[in-house]
Amino acid sequence: MSDESRTKQARTARIWRGRTTREKAEDYVAYLRKEGVTPLQEKALGAQMFREDRETESEFVTISYWESVEAMSRFAGPDPRRIHHLPRDAEFLIELPEGVQVLEIVLNEPG
């Protein structure tokens, strides 16, 4: 870890949510990780991918952490709340999400 990355602190989180059928969930995990999360990990301070399996569908949540909205905008474009669908999202997702949530981190302390 470089000295520069040690001094950066996550102050903003960008949260994306999407749902797929249970039958497509395993394939979507691999696709989302490769095409969505890996590019985030290269630019953000960190990224996480979550999955909740329900009776007929699986919900995915991806959270990326940024030092500022400006840093997020360098990755996501001028409006970081605008969603950028992956090329195969329409094939996998039950409905295409209309946006992402951007939250200010007000507490970020180890537990």
Share of residues in the chain with pLDDT > 70 (%): 93
Q: Are strands 46-53 and 12-21 parallel, antiparallel or unpaired?
A: unpaired
CATH architecture of 3-104: 2-Layer Sandwich (3.30)
Q: Indicate the domain borders of the chain.
A: 3-104
Instruction: Check residue 96 and give its pLDDT.
Output: 97
Q: What is the pLDDT of residues 85-104, one digit of tens each?
A: 999 999 999 999 999 999 99
